[in-house]
Chains A and B, each alone.
Chain A
């Protein structure tokens, strides 16, 4: 009775504070927010005051298209906080958005995930910014653990499960058994690095400058990680560096594959290093079950194929890879009172 009563008032949240997107799970409801981690700030020249103009989807549309008085910022970089105050403001706005009920606005308990490669200082920063955004208590969970729970892997059983979470800023490789992370490794390569590689490739080979949004579109449309049977083409518009005039040109999927080779190799080597470091018993489990890909990067065409060919292990993409981490954090939040071991500590 008391449980259901406290459950009614409780608005505990699980947050996947990602470099590209922030997702929020509310206990008893589900995923209630899924927006880009972008903040637009208006800088009033007269009074020299800064105010938040927009967050999320609205702010993302402004990226790269702002006049001098407006700044569109992505406050997260490589999976960790790059701009502390802006991140705090963004979290505040998002929490307000999912929680418009002012009457029972008891400050929530929040589970928030951190990259396993983040330093204690970076974790502390994430924890503090969630506290400043109005949390009563903050628990941190490592991303590979959250991703594995979200993908439905048997994390609490005495068997090794391997998960590769490719986010916007980082790629996390984790090997999990008995509710704990046995080995984890994080490389600062993700969707953003893919975009960057495409921009650089096109500048080098075409003498054309394209924006981040265009690069992202190219990646989603014709990007792939493994040579496929068909070659797809896409028309792209950018600024010609020599003439200084916007021009349209055509790129093919083979070229984009070539552009992505370098960041993809870094992911492959991170996976291989993880497999080398895995204790033999768990390695045997993984040879049987293979690895699971989660995160937005897993949507890159044929990435599972690339990793399967490189490692010789079965690889599959989790269902709804984009929401895996937040669903996993949400499940951890639901079980928060029963199990404590899956959370990581900050001194």
Chain B
């Protein structure tokens, strides 16, 4: 078990326990009152407030208890969960949800479209075309050919519903942008601009890799030079620049967020299992 009380990547000085404790005290609640409401023992609550999370039964419980506590104190839950990610990762991340942000949003709109104009045939053709394009891309990608950046939206097409494929084909730019939402929420530091040091090299691609948990990262530039070839520890980040196209391989991809030329790059669509492979031009 790693040392608690340190959540460097969160960019917040206070630890989770300290924030909860401060919020409780500012509301004038005693530990006993909280324990009575949350049905936790005093020992468990003390462990939470002093960041001794290893005393609790496991990651799922740590996250659950902290969430309940924060909700009771009417704190914003999201930043606390993010701070816990490094040591107690959510089990949700292990399984990417492709149906969630692809099918749910666009297909609703697509259904309305279809209701308005009964052009079902055309829709089928478009869906077929999208599937064919996606299949070709997948084939090419697996043979080691270069994958274009916008391909992310289209390789997902076979997993979409027929209706959402319509939407993808009909309103190409909008639909291609939709699945581009990154699975990993950006850390607070994410909005910071790319470090200035990399801007010195003209024509070079600058890549920033931010790891929320331990992850294997390999980056090669166009000349085959290894820019990164190591396991990044959770909470660390690394910035490199080299001649594009950059070949990137990431193990444990759900824990990693990358920024190319300062722009976040979605990994979800490039991830098979936990490994992401992509090429940045």
- Main SS class of interface, B: helix
Distance between Cα atoms of A35 and B98 in the complex (Å)? 12
A94-137 interface bits toward B, Cβ cutoff 8 Å, 1 = contact, 0 = none:
00011011000000000000000000000000000000000000
Distance between Cα atoms of A159 and B61 in the complex (Å)? 13
**A residues within 8 A CB of B135?**
101
Distance between Cα atoms of A98 and B157 in the complex (Å)? 10
| A25, A28, A289, A308: the one within 8 Å of B38 (CB) | A308
Q: Which of A167-175, A271-279, A311-319 is the interface stretch?
A: A311-319
B57 in contact with A304 (CB, 8 Å): no
- Main SS class of interface, A: mixed
Q: Does A150 contact B (CB under 8 A)?
A: yes
| A30, A57, A304: the one within 8 Å of B161 (CB) | A57
Q: Which residues of chain B in 85-108 are interfacial with respect to chain A, using CB atoms and an 8 Å cutoff?
A: 90-92, 94-100, 103-104, 107-108
Q: Does B163 contact A (CB under 8 A)?
A: yes
What are 11 inter-chain pairs, A to B, with CB distance below 8 A?
A29-B98, A30-B95, A31-B99, A34-B99, A34-B100, A35-B99, A35-B103, A154-B58, A159-B57, A290-B61, A319-B92
A47-74 interface bits toward B, Cβ cutoff 8 Å, 1 = contact, 0 = none:
0000000001110010000000000000
**B residues within 8 A CB of A292?**
60, 64
A31 in contact with B95 (CB, 8 Å): yes
**B residues within 8 A CB of A58?**
111, 163
**B residues within 8 A CB of A289?**
57, 61
A292-320 interface bits toward B, Cβ cutoff 8 Å, 1 = contact, 0 = none:
10000000000010001001111111111
B57 in contact with A154 (CB, 8 Å): yes
Residue total for A at the interface (Cβ-Cβ under 8 A)? 46
Q: Does A346 contact B (CB under 8 A)?
A: no
B91 in contact with A28 (CB, 8 Å): no
B273 in contact with A28 (CB, 8 Å): yes
A56 in contact with B60 (CB, 8 Å): no
**B residues within 8 A CB of A312?**
39
B164's closest neighbor in chain A, by CB? A57
Distance between Cα atoms of A151 and B67 in the complex (Å)? 14
Distance between Cα atoms of A292 and B63 in the complex (Å)? 12
B38 in contact with A34 (CB, 8 Å): no
| A61, A316, A330: the one within 8 Å of B95 (CB) | A330
B91 in contact with A33 (CB, 8 Å): no
A320 in contact with B39 (CB, 8 Å): no
A316 in contact with B65 (CB, 8 Å): yes
Closest CB in chain B relative to A155 CB, distance in Å: 11
**A residues within 8 A CB of B162?**
97
B42-85 interface bits toward A, Cβ cutoff 8 Å, 1 = contact, 0 = none:
00100000000000011111011101100000000000000000
Closest CB in chain B relative to A271 CB, distance in Å: 13
Q: Does A221 contact B (CB under 8 A)?
A: no
Q: Which residues of chain B in 230-278 are interfacial with respect to chain A, using CB atoms and an 8 Å cutoff?
A: 272-273
A96's closest neighbor in chain B, by CB? B162
Distance between Cα atoms of A161 and B53 in the complex (Å)? 18
Q: Does A224 contact B (CB under 8 A)?
A: no
Q: Give chain B's interface residues, CB within 8 Å of chain A.
A: 38-41, 44, 57-61, 63-65, 67-68, 90-92, 94-100, 103-104, 107-108, 111, 131, 135, 158-159, 161-163, 272-273
Q: Does A87 contact B (CB under 8 A)?
A: no
Q: Does A23 contact B (CB under 8 A)?
A: yes
**B residues within 8 A CB of A217?**
none
Closest CB in chain B relative to A85 CB, distance in Å: 22
Closest CB in chain A relative to B188 CB, distance in Å: 20
Closest CB in chain B relative to A54 CB, distance in Å: 9
A314 in contact with B39 (CB, 8 Å): yes
Q: Does A219 contact B (CB under 8 A)?
A: no
B64 in contact with A318 (CB, 8 Å): yes
**B residues within 8 A CB of A159?**
57
Distance between Cα atoms of A152 and B84 in the complex (Å)? 15
A23's closest neighbor in chain B, by CB? B99
With A58-B163, A292-B64, A308-B39 in contact, is A32–B98 under 8 Å at CB?
Answer: yes
Q: Does A19 contact B (CB under 8 A)?
A: no
A150 in contact with B91 (CB, 8 Å): yes
**A residues within 8 A CB of B60?**
151-153, 292, 318
| B58, B96, B158: the one within 8 Å of A31 (CB) | B96
Closest CB in chain B relative to A60 CB, distance in Å: 10
**A residues within 8 A CB of B90?**
152, 319
| B38, B41, B65, B97: the one within 8 Å of A30 (CB) | B97
With A23-B99, A152-B90, A319-B91 in contact, is A34–B104 under 8 Å at CB?
Answer: yes
B91 in contact with A304 (CB, 8 Å): no
